Amino acid sequence: MSANARVVAARALSDIAVHDQSLRQVLAARLPGVEDSRDRAFVSAIVYASTRGWLRWNAALQLLLVKPLPRKLAFVQALLVSALTQLEDLNIAQHAVVAASVDACGAFGHGAQRGLVNAILRRWLRERNELLKRLDENVEARFRLPEWLLQAMRRDWSGEVDAIIAASNHEASPMLRVNIARTDRTQYLLALDAAGIRAQPHRWISSAIVLEHSLDVAQLPGWADGLCSMQDGAAQLAAALLDAPPNARVLDACAAPGGKTCHILERGPVALTALDRDPQRTERVRENLDRLRLTCELRAADALQPDAWWDGRMYDRILLDAPCSASGILRRQPDVRLHRRASDIPELVAQQKRLLRTLWPLLKPGGSLLYATCSLLREENAQQIDGFLQERTDAEPIPIKLPTGREDGAGWQILPGEDGIDGMFFARLRKQASDLVRGRRHIEHVPGTLN
Protein backbone atom coordinates (compact mmCIF):
# COMPACT_ATOMS: atom_id res chain seq x y z
CA MET A 1 0.00 0.00 0.00
CA SER A 2 1.29 3.50 -0.81
CA ALA A 3 2.36 5.89 1.97
CA ASN A 4 -0.43 8.18 0.74
CA ALA A 5 -3.05 5.50 1.42
CA ARG A 6 -1.72 5.03 4.97
CA VAL A 7 -1.92 8.80 5.48
CA VAL A 8 -5.53 8.78 4.27
CA ALA A 9 -6.37 5.91 6.66
CA ALA A 10 -4.80 7.67 9.68
CA ARG A 11 -6.48 11.00 8.83
CA ALA A 12 -9.83 9.24 8.50
CA LEU A 13 -9.32 7.46 11.81
CA SER A 14 -8.44 10.67 13.62
CA ASP A 15 -11.59 12.33 12.16
CA ILE A 16 -13.68 9.43 13.49
CA ALA A 17 -12.08 8.61 16.84
CA VAL A 18 -10.69 11.97 17.96
CA HIS A 19 -12.97 14.45 16.17
CA ASP A 20 -16.21 12.41 16.57
CA GLN A 21 -17.15 12.32 12.88
CA SER A 22 -19.21 9.49 11.36
CA LEU A 23 -17.21 6.67 9.78
CA ARG A 24 -19.46 6.48 6.73
CA GLN A 25 -19.26 10.20 6.05
CA VAL A 26 -15.51 10.31 6.57
CA LEU A 27 -14.89 7.42 4.18
CA ALA A 28 -17.33 8.84 1.63
CA ALA A 29 -15.35 12.10 1.68
CA ARG A 30 -11.83 10.64 1.76
CA LEU A 31 -11.91 7.46 -0.35
CA PRO A 32 -12.53 9.16 -3.72
CA GLY A 33 -9.14 10.88 -3.25
CA VAL A 34 -7.36 7.50 -3.34
CA GLU A 35 -6.65 6.55 -6.94
CA ASP A 36 -5.86 2.85 -6.86
CA SER A 37 -8.85 0.54 -6.14
CA ARG A 38 -6.68 -1.86 -4.07
CA ASP A 39 -5.47 1.09 -1.96
CA ARG A 40 -9.11 2.15 -1.46
CA ALA A 41 -10.03 -1.35 -0.24
CA PHE A 42 -7.01 -1.35 2.09
CA VAL A 43 -7.81 2.08 3.54
CA SER A 44 -11.36 0.99 4.15
CA ALA A 45 -10.26 -2.29 5.84
CA ILE A 46 -7.81 -0.43 8.11
CA VAL A 47 -10.33 2.24 9.08
CA TYR A 48 -13.06 -0.28 9.93
CA ALA A 49 -10.70 -2.55 11.89
CA SER A 50 -9.02 0.35 13.73
CA THR A 51 -12.38 1.87 14.70
CA ARG A 52 -13.53 -1.53 15.94
CA GLY A 53 -10.25 -1.91 17.88
CA TRP A 54 -9.80 1.72 19.00
CA LEU A 55 -10.67 1.15 22.66
CA ARG A 56 -8.11 -1.67 22.84
CA TRP A 57 -5.21 -0.31 20.79
CA ASN A 58 -5.53 3.25 22.00
CA ALA A 59 -5.33 1.87 25.57
CA ALA A 60 -2.20 -0.05 24.48
CA LEU A 61 -0.75 3.18 23.12
CA GLN A 62 -1.34 4.93 26.46
CA LEU A 63 0.72 2.16 28.14
CA LEU A 64 3.57 2.97 25.75
CA LEU A 65 3.54 6.76 26.09
CA VAL A 66 5.05 8.73 28.95
CA LYS A 67 2.18 11.23 28.65
CA PRO A 68 -0.84 11.36 26.30
CA LEU A 69 -0.23 12.97 22.90
CA PRO A 70 -1.66 16.50 22.59
CA ARG A 71 -4.74 16.96 20.37
CA LYS A 72 -2.64 18.63 17.68
CA LEU A 73 -0.92 15.24 17.24
CA ALA A 74 -4.24 13.40 16.69
CA PHE A 75 -2.90 12.23 13.32
CA VAL A 76 0.12 10.57 14.98
CA GLN A 77 -2.13 8.96 17.61
CA ALA A 78 -4.39 7.57 14.87
CA LEU A 79 -1.40 6.41 12.84
CA LEU A 80 -0.07 4.47 15.85
CA VAL A 81 -3.47 2.94 16.70
CA SER A 82 -3.90 1.90 13.06
CA ALA A 83 -0.36 0.40 13.10
CA LEU A 84 -1.16 -1.65 16.24
CA THR A 85 -4.41 -2.78 14.61
CA GLN A 86 -2.53 -3.86 11.49
CA LEU A 87 -0.02 -5.81 13.59
CA GLU A 88 -2.49 -7.45 15.95
CA ASP A 89 -5.84 -7.74 14.17
CA LEU A 90 -4.93 -7.73 10.48
CA ASN A 91 -1.75 -9.82 10.77
CA ILE A 92 0.29 -7.59 8.48
CA ALA A 93 4.04 -8.23 8.54
CA GLN A 94 5.91 -6.31 11.26
CA HIS A 95 8.60 -4.79 9.05
CA ALA A 96 6.01 -3.51 6.56
CA VAL A 97 3.86 -1.90 9.26
CA VAL A 98 6.73 -0.21 11.11
CA ALA A 99 8.54 1.12 8.04
CA ALA A 100 5.37 2.28 6.28
CA SER A 101 4.02 3.99 9.42
CA VAL A 102 7.28 5.91 9.89
CA ASP A 103 7.15 6.95 6.21
CA ALA A 104 3.49 8.01 6.49
CA CYS A 105 4.37 10.18 9.48
CA GLY A 106 6.96 12.01 7.40
CA ALA A 107 4.64 12.21 4.38
CA PHE A 108 2.00 14.07 6.41
CA GLY A 109 4.35 16.75 7.68
CA HIS A 110 5.01 15.13 11.04
CA GLY A 111 8.67 14.39 10.27
CA ALA A 112 9.61 15.33 13.84
CA GLN A 113 7.53 12.40 15.15
CA ARG A 114 9.15 9.71 12.95
CA GLY A 115 11.47 8.67 15.78
CA LEU A 116 8.59 8.49 18.26
CA VAL A 117 6.50 6.32 15.91
CA ASN A 118 9.45 4.01 15.30
CA ALA A 119 10.31 3.74 19.02
CA ILE A 120 6.73 3.08 20.13
CA LEU A 121 6.11 0.33 17.60
CA ARG A 122 9.45 -1.37 18.30
CA ARG A 123 8.77 -1.28 22.03
CA TRP A 124 5.35 -2.81 21.45
CA LEU A 125 6.95 -5.67 19.52
CA ARG A 126 9.56 -6.23 22.28
CA GLU A 127 7.18 -6.05 25.28
CA ARG A 128 4.04 -7.32 23.60
CA ASN A 129 3.28 -10.31 25.84
CA GLU A 130 3.57 -8.34 29.07
CA LEU A 131 1.57 -5.41 27.65
CA LEU A 132 -1.22 -7.70 26.38
CA LYS A 133 -1.68 -9.01 29.94
CA ARG A 134 -1.92 -5.47 31.32
CA LEU A 135 -4.44 -4.54 28.62
CA ASP A 136 -6.80 -7.30 29.68
CA GLU A 137 -7.05 -5.74 33.15
CA ASN A 138 -8.91 -2.81 31.54
CA VAL A 139 -12.48 -3.90 30.77
CA GLU A 140 -12.97 -1.52 27.81
CA ALA A 141 -9.65 -2.57 26.28
CA ARG A 142 -10.47 -6.23 26.80
CA PHE A 143 -13.94 -6.17 25.24
CA ARG A 144 -13.45 -3.19 22.89
CA LEU A 145 -16.72 -1.64 24.06
CA PRO A 146 -17.50 1.29 26.36
CA GLU A 147 -18.18 0.28 29.94
CA TRP A 148 -21.72 1.72 30.04
CA LEU A 149 -22.72 -0.37 27.03
CA LEU A 150 -21.14 -3.54 28.45
CA GLN A 151 -23.13 -2.98 31.64
CA ALA A 152 -26.35 -2.45 29.69
CA MET A 153 -25.72 -5.60 27.61
CA ARG A 154 -25.10 -7.64 30.79
CA ARG A 155 -28.20 -6.17 32.46
CA ASP A 156 -30.50 -6.98 29.51
CA TRP A 157 -28.93 -10.12 28.04
CA SER A 158 -26.81 -11.77 30.72
CA GLY A 159 -27.06 -15.25 29.13
CA GLU A 160 -26.17 -14.02 25.64
CA VAL A 161 -23.63 -11.32 26.46
CA ASP A 162 -20.51 -13.23 25.34
CA ALA A 163 -22.05 -13.94 21.94
CA ILE A 164 -23.20 -10.31 21.62
CA ILE A 165 -19.70 -8.98 22.38
CA ALA A 166 -18.08 -11.44 19.97
CA ALA A 167 -20.52 -10.55 17.18
CA SER A 168 -20.19 -6.80 17.82
CA ASN A 169 -16.41 -7.07 17.39
CA HIS A 170 -16.57 -9.22 14.30
CA GLU A 171 -16.64 -7.96 10.73
CA ALA A 172 -20.03 -8.71 9.16
CA SER A 173 -20.30 -10.21 5.67
CA PRO A 174 -21.75 -7.73 3.18
CA MET A 175 -25.40 -8.42 2.29
CA LEU A 176 -27.49 -7.47 -0.68
CA ARG A 177 -31.20 -7.04 -1.15
CA VAL A 178 -32.36 -8.15 -4.56
CA ASN A 179 -34.84 -5.75 -6.18
CA ILE A 180 -37.69 -8.19 -6.75
CA ALA A 181 -39.52 -5.61 -8.87
CA ARG A 182 -36.77 -6.03 -11.50
CA THR A 183 -35.26 -9.50 -11.09
CA ASP A 184 -35.34 -12.49 -8.77
CA ARG A 185 -32.78 -13.90 -6.42
CA THR A 186 -31.94 -16.99 -8.48
CA GLN A 187 -31.28 -14.89 -11.58
CA TYR A 188 -29.25 -12.37 -9.64
CA LEU A 189 -27.12 -15.12 -8.06
CA LEU A 190 -26.37 -16.33 -11.60
CA ALA A 191 -25.35 -12.80 -12.61
CA LEU A 192 -23.03 -12.59 -9.58
CA ASP A 193 -21.52 -15.94 -10.46
CA ALA A 194 -20.94 -14.82 -14.07
CA ALA A 195 -19.17 -11.71 -12.71
CA GLY A 196 -16.91 -13.92 -10.55
CA ILE A 197 -18.45 -12.63 -7.28
CA ARG A 198 -18.84 -15.36 -4.67
CA ALA A 199 -22.19 -15.25 -2.89
CA GLN A 200 -24.82 -17.36 -1.13
CA PRO A 201 -28.57 -16.91 -0.67
CA HIS A 202 -29.50 -16.19 2.96
CA ARG A 203 -30.95 -19.30 4.59
CA TRP A 204 -34.45 -17.92 5.18
CA ILE A 205 -34.63 -14.24 4.20
CA SER A 206 -35.90 -14.57 0.67
CA SER A 207 -34.58 -11.25 -0.72
CA ALA A 208 -31.11 -11.49 0.89
CA ILE A 209 -27.77 -12.54 -0.58
CA VAL A 210 -24.59 -12.84 1.50
CA LEU A 211 -21.36 -11.87 -0.28
CA GLU A 212 -18.12 -13.60 0.61
CA HIS A 213 -16.02 -10.41 0.36
CA SER A 214 -16.52 -6.66 0.49
CA LEU A 215 -16.36 -4.93 -2.84
CA ASP A 216 -16.98 -1.64 -4.53
CA VAL A 217 -20.74 -1.55 -5.29
CA ALA A 218 -20.00 -0.38 -8.83
CA GLN A 219 -18.71 -3.92 -9.48
CA LEU A 220 -22.11 -5.44 -8.74
CA PRO A 221 -24.04 -6.48 -11.88
CA GLY A 222 -26.83 -4.00 -12.66
CA TRP A 223 -26.00 -1.75 -9.68
CA ALA A 224 -26.51 1.47 -11.64
CA ASP A 225 -29.76 0.05 -13.05
CA GLY A 226 -31.11 -0.70 -9.58
CA LEU A 227 -31.06 -4.50 -9.56
CA CYS A 228 -29.89 -4.65 -5.95
CA SER A 229 -29.05 -2.64 -2.82
CA MET A 230 -26.68 -3.12 0.10
CA GLN A 231 -28.79 -3.90 3.16
CA ASP A 232 -28.39 -6.19 6.14
CA GLY A 233 -30.82 -9.11 6.32
CA ALA A 234 -32.43 -7.95 9.58
CA ALA A 235 -33.41 -4.63 7.98
CA GLN A 236 -34.89 -6.64 5.08
CA LEU A 237 -37.45 -8.12 7.47
CA ALA A 238 -39.26 -4.82 8.00
CA ALA A 239 -41.08 -4.65 4.66
CA ALA A 240 -42.52 -8.17 5.05
CA LEU A 241 -43.53 -7.52 8.67
CA LEU A 242 -45.23 -4.27 7.66
CA ASP A 243 -47.32 -6.46 5.34
CA ALA A 244 -48.85 -3.62 3.32
CA PRO A 245 -51.68 -4.77 1.01
CA PRO A 246 -51.71 -3.51 -2.60
CA ASN A 247 -52.45 0.22 -2.87
CA ALA A 248 -52.45 0.69 0.90
CA ARG A 249 -51.72 4.16 2.28
CA VAL A 250 -48.36 3.78 3.99
CA LEU A 251 -46.33 6.20 6.10
CA ASP A 252 -42.60 5.61 6.57
CA ALA A 253 -42.03 8.16 9.31
CA CYS A 254 -38.24 7.99 9.77
CA ALA A 255 -37.18 6.99 6.31
CA ALA A 256 -33.63 8.10 5.56
CA PRO A 257 -31.49 6.83 3.91
CA GLY A 258 -34.42 4.90 2.48
CA GLY A 259 -33.42 1.24 2.70
CA LYS A 260 -36.78 0.14 4.05
CA THR A 261 -38.77 2.69 2.01
CA CYS A 262 -37.35 1.27 -1.21
CA HIS A 263 -37.90 -2.32 -0.13
CA ILE A 264 -41.59 -1.62 0.62
CA LEU A 265 -42.00 -0.10 -2.86
CA GLU A 266 -40.13 -2.98 -4.55
CA ARG A 267 -42.62 -5.45 -3.07
CA GLY A 268 -45.67 -3.93 -4.76
CA PRO A 269 -47.70 -0.81 -5.48
CA VAL A 270 -48.54 1.27 -2.40
CA ALA A 271 -49.26 4.95 -1.82
CA LEU A 272 -46.24 5.68 0.33
CA THR A 273 -45.23 8.88 2.09
CA ALA A 274 -41.62 8.88 3.29
CA LEU A 275 -40.52 11.46 5.84
CA ASP A 276 -37.27 12.32 7.46
CA ARG A 277 -36.50 15.42 9.45
CA ASP A 278 -32.91 15.60 8.19
CA PRO A 279 -32.89 17.26 4.72
CA GLN A 280 -29.44 15.93 3.78
CA ARG A 281 -30.38 12.38 4.66
CA THR A 282 -33.69 12.85 2.81
CA GLU A 283 -31.60 13.59 -0.29
CA ARG A 284 -30.08 10.12 0.09
CA VAL A 285 -33.59 8.63 -0.01
CA ARG A 286 -34.12 10.52 -3.29
CA GLU A 287 -30.88 9.10 -4.74
CA ASN A 288 -31.84 5.56 -3.74
CA LEU A 289 -35.36 5.93 -5.18
CA ASP A 290 -33.92 7.25 -8.44
CA ARG A 291 -31.34 4.47 -8.79
CA LEU A 292 -33.98 1.82 -8.07
CA ARG A 293 -36.52 3.60 -10.33
CA LEU A 294 -39.12 3.86 -7.61
CA THR A 295 -41.41 6.73 -6.69
CA CYS A 296 -43.18 7.93 -3.59
CA GLU A 297 -44.07 11.16 -1.84
CA LEU A 298 -40.85 12.22 -0.11
CA ARG A 299 -40.69 15.04 2.43
CA ALA A 300 -38.03 16.49 4.66
CA ALA A 301 -40.27 17.04 7.68
CA ASP A 302 -40.55 16.37 11.39
CA ALA A 303 -42.84 13.42 12.07
CA LEU A 304 -43.64 15.03 15.43
CA GLN A 305 -45.31 17.99 13.65
CA PRO A 306 -48.07 16.36 11.50
CA ASP A 307 -49.77 19.77 11.05
CA ALA A 308 -46.89 20.72 8.77
CA TRP A 309 -47.10 17.71 6.41
CA TRP A 310 -50.16 15.49 6.97
CA ASP A 311 -53.11 15.72 4.55
CA GLY A 312 -55.53 14.46 7.21
CA ARG A 313 -56.15 11.02 5.59
CA MET A 314 -55.30 8.12 7.85
CA TYR A 315 -52.80 5.42 7.00
CA ASP A 316 -53.33 1.67 6.64
CA ARG A 317 -49.76 0.99 7.68
CA ILE A 318 -47.15 3.03 9.52
CA LEU A 319 -43.50 2.09 9.75
CA LEU A 320 -41.75 3.75 12.68
CA ASP A 321 -38.08 2.84 12.26
CA ALA A 322 -37.19 4.94 15.25
CA PRO A 323 -33.97 6.80 16.00
CA CYS A 324 -32.16 4.60 18.54
CA SER A 325 -28.85 3.70 20.18
CA ALA A 326 -27.82 1.54 17.16
CA SER A 327 -26.42 -0.89 19.74
CA GLY A 328 -27.45 -3.86 17.57
CA ILE A 329 -25.38 -2.86 14.54
CA LEU A 330 -21.86 -2.33 15.89
CA ARG A 331 -20.62 -4.94 13.40
CA ARG A 332 -21.50 -2.68 10.49
CA GLN A 333 -21.18 0.69 12.20
CA PRO A 334 -18.21 0.22 14.56
CA ASP A 335 -17.99 3.97 15.31
CA VAL A 336 -21.25 3.77 17.30
CA ARG A 337 -19.15 2.42 20.22
CA LEU A 338 -17.10 5.63 20.21
CA HIS A 339 -19.83 8.16 19.57
CA ARG A 340 -22.86 6.95 21.51
CA ARG A 341 -22.93 8.00 25.20
CA ALA A 342 -24.92 6.55 28.11
CA SER A 343 -26.47 10.01 28.51
CA ASP A 344 -28.00 9.78 24.97
CA ILE A 345 -30.28 6.89 25.91
CA PRO A 346 -32.94 8.68 28.00
CA GLU A 347 -33.43 11.29 25.25
CA LEU A 348 -33.71 8.57 22.58
CA VAL A 349 -36.28 6.70 24.69
CA ALA A 350 -38.25 9.94 25.15
CA GLN A 351 -38.10 10.65 21.39
CA GLN A 352 -39.35 7.14 20.56
CA LYS A 353 -42.22 7.59 23.00
CA ARG A 354 -43.16 10.96 21.46
CA LEU A 355 -43.07 9.48 17.96
CA LEU A 356 -45.32 6.56 18.97
CA ARG A 357 -47.82 8.88 20.66
CA THR A 358 -47.86 11.36 17.77
CA LEU A 359 -48.16 8.85 14.93
CA TRP A 360 -50.72 6.49 16.49
CA PRO A 361 -53.71 8.82 15.87
CA LEU A 362 -52.76 8.89 12.15
CA LEU A 363 -53.38 5.14 11.84
CA LYS A 364 -56.76 3.88 10.55
CA PRO A 365 -58.76 1.63 12.88
CA GLY A 366 -57.90 -1.88 11.71
CA GLY A 367 -54.52 -0.70 10.45
CA SER A 368 -51.16 -1.55 11.98
CA LEU A 369 -47.93 0.15 12.98
CA LEU A 370 -44.58 -1.59 12.81
CA TYR A 371 -42.13 -0.31 15.40
CA ALA A 372 -38.50 -1.13 14.62
CA THR A 373 -35.10 -0.29 16.11
CA CYS A 374 -31.58 -1.54 15.51
CA SER A 375 -31.05 -1.61 19.27
CA LEU A 376 -30.66 -4.41 21.76
CA LEU A 377 -31.52 -2.30 24.80
CA ARG A 378 -34.83 -3.30 26.37
CA GLU A 379 -35.72 0.26 27.38
CA GLU A 380 -35.86 1.20 23.68
CA ASN A 381 -37.61 -2.01 22.68
CA ALA A 382 -39.79 -4.36 24.74
CA GLN A 383 -40.15 -1.88 27.63
CA GLN A 384 -40.97 0.98 25.25
CA ILE A 385 -43.73 -1.03 23.57
CA ASP A 386 -45.06 -2.47 26.81
CA GLY A 387 -45.33 1.07 28.18
CA PHE A 388 -47.23 2.19 25.06
CA LEU A 389 -49.63 -0.74 25.32
CA GLN A 390 -50.32 0.20 28.94
CA GLU A 391 -51.46 3.66 27.91
CA ARG A 392 -53.46 2.80 24.72
CA THR A 393 -56.50 0.59 25.08
CA ASP A 394 -57.01 0.65 21.29
CA ALA A 395 -53.56 -0.90 20.59
CA GLU A 396 -52.97 -4.64 20.58
CA PRO A 397 -49.86 -6.55 19.67
CA ILE A 398 -49.80 -8.84 16.65
CA PRO A 399 -47.37 -11.62 17.62
CA ILE A 400 -44.27 -12.07 15.50
CA LYS A 401 -42.49 -15.38 15.03
CA LEU A 402 -39.32 -15.56 12.96
CA PRO A 403 -36.78 -18.36 12.48
CA THR A 404 -34.16 -16.30 14.35
CA GLY A 405 -34.41 -14.41 17.64
CA ARG A 406 -36.88 -14.56 20.46
CA GLU A 407 -40.12 -13.06 21.70
CA ASP A 408 -39.45 -10.18 24.06
CA GLY A 409 -42.44 -8.51 25.67
CA ALA A 410 -44.90 -7.78 22.87
CA GLY A 411 -42.19 -7.79 20.20
CA TRP A 412 -39.41 -9.84 18.68
CA GLN A 413 -35.69 -9.33 19.33
CA ILE A 414 -32.86 -10.51 17.11
CA LEU A 415 -29.39 -10.19 18.65
CA PRO A 416 -26.36 -9.22 16.53
CA GLY A 417 -24.81 -12.02 14.52
CA GLU A 418 -27.72 -14.45 14.92
CA ASP A 419 -28.08 -16.23 11.58
CA GLY A 420 -25.50 -13.77 10.23
CA ILE A 421 -27.76 -10.72 10.59
CA ASP A 422 -27.77 -7.54 12.67
CA GLY A 423 -29.49 -6.99 15.99
CA MET A 424 -33.00 -5.57 15.53
CA PHE A 425 -36.26 -5.33 17.42
CA PHE A 426 -39.73 -5.36 15.84
CA ALA A 427 -43.20 -4.95 17.30
CA ARG A 428 -46.46 -4.92 15.33
CA LEU A 429 -49.34 -3.02 16.85
CA ARG A 430 -52.85 -3.20 15.49
CA LYS A 431 -55.35 -0.43 16.06
CA GLN A 432 -58.70 -1.78 17.09
CA ALA A 433 -61.79 -0.47 15.36
CA SER A 434 -63.36 1.96 17.86
CA ASP A 435 -66.47 -0.22 18.40
CA LEU A 436 -64.15 -3.08 19.38
CA VAL A 437 -62.27 -1.19 22.07
CA ARG A 438 -63.36 -2.98 25.19
CA GLY A 439 -60.11 -3.37 27.07
CA ARG A 440 -57.23 -5.25 25.52
CA ARG A 441 -57.85 -8.26 23.27
CA HIS A 442 -55.15 -10.45 21.92
CA ILE A 443 -55.30 -11.16 18.21
CA GLU A 444 -53.53 -14.32 17.16
CA HIS A 445 -51.98 -13.52 13.84
CA VAL A 446 -48.60 -14.87 12.96
CA PRO A 447 -47.18 -13.90 9.58
CA GLY A 448 -46.77 -17.08 7.59
CA THR A 449 -43.73 -16.77 5.37
CA LEU A 450 -41.50 -13.80 4.88
CA ASN A 451 -41.54 -13.36 1.15
**Position among 304, 314, 389, 437 found at the interface with ligand SAM (CB under 6 A):** 304
The residue within the footprint of ligand SAM, chosen from 53, 226, 259, 367 (CB under 6 A), is: 259
Stretch of residues binding ligand SAM (CB under 6 A), selected from 8-16, 34-42, 154-162, 272-280: 272-280
- Contact (Cβ atoms closer than 8 angstroms) between residue 144 and residue 53: yes
Query: Minimum Å distance from CB 304 to ligand SAM?
Result: 5
Q: What residues contact residue 397 under an 8 Å CB cut-off, 6+ apart?
A: 385, 389, 410, 411, 427, 428, 429, 430, 442
Got the DSSP string for 375-442? ---GGGTHHHHHHHHHH-TTEEEE----SSSEEETTEEEE-TTGGG---EEEEEEEEPPGGG-SS---
Q: How far is C-alpha 297 from the geometric centre of its chain's CA atoms?
A: 25
Q: Give the nearer residue to ligand SAM in terms of CB position, either 59 or 355.
A: 355
CA separation, residue 183 to residues 113, 188, 200, 277 (Å): 55, 7, 16, 32
Q: Are strands 199-201 and 228-230 parallel, antiparallel or unpaired?
A: unpaired
CB of 228 to ligand SAM, least distance (A): 15
Determine the interface stretch with ligand SAM among 76-84, 181-189, 255-263, 309-317 (rule: CB under 6 A). 255-263
| Phi, psi of 367, rounded to the nearest 5 degrees | -85, 175
Minimum Å gap between C-beta 261 and ligand SAM is: 7
Contact residue for ligand SAM among 103, 171, 283, 302 (CB under 6 A): 302
Please, how many CA atoms are within 13 Å of residue 166, restricted to the half-sphere of its CB?
7
Q: For the CB of residue 230, give the shortest distance to ligand SAM in the complex, in Å.
A: 11
Nearest distance from C-beta of residue 411 to ligand SAM, angstroms:
16
- Which segment (36-44, 116-124, 206-214, 251-259) binds ligand SAM by CB under 6 A? 251-259
**Is 374 assigned a catalytic role?**
yes
User: Are 408 and 419 in contact, with CB atoms under 8 Å apart?
Assistant: no
Binder to ligand SAM among 146, 174, 233, 323 (CB under 6 A)? 323
Does the protein bind ligand SAM through residue 254 (CB under 6 A)?
yes
In the complex, residue closest to ligand SAM by CB = 254
Enumerate residues 208-237 that contact ligand SAM by CB under 6 A: 235
Consecutive H or E run containing 370: strand 363-373
- 310 phi, psi to nearest 5 deg: -85, 135
Question: Please, which residue, 41 or 372, has the CB nearer to ligand SAM?
Answer: 372
With binding defined as CB under 6 A, does residue 394 bind ligand SAM? no
Instruction: Among 303, 349, 377, 424, indicate the residue that binds ligand SAM (CB under 6 A).
Output: 303
Closest approach of Cβ 263 to ligand SAM, in Å?
8
Q: Is there binding between residue 53 and ligand SAM (CB under 6 A)?
A: no
89 near ligand SAM, judged by CB under 6 A: no
Helix (H) or strand (E) holding 298: strand 297-300
Cβ atoms of 263 and 240 within 8 Å: the answer is: no
Per CB under 6 A, 267 contacts ligand SAM: no
Q: Determine, following the binding rule CB under 6 A, whether residue 321 of this chain makes contact with ligand SAM.
A: yes
Determine the Cα–Cα distance for residues 358 and 351; give it in Å rounded to an integer.
Answer: 10
Report d(CA 216, CA 9) in Å as an integer. 17
Closest of 54, 92, 91 to residue 74, by C-alpha:
54
Chain residues in the site for ligand SAM (CB under 6 A): 235, 254-260, 275-278, 281, 302-304, 321, 323
**Which amino acids are annotated catalytic?**
374
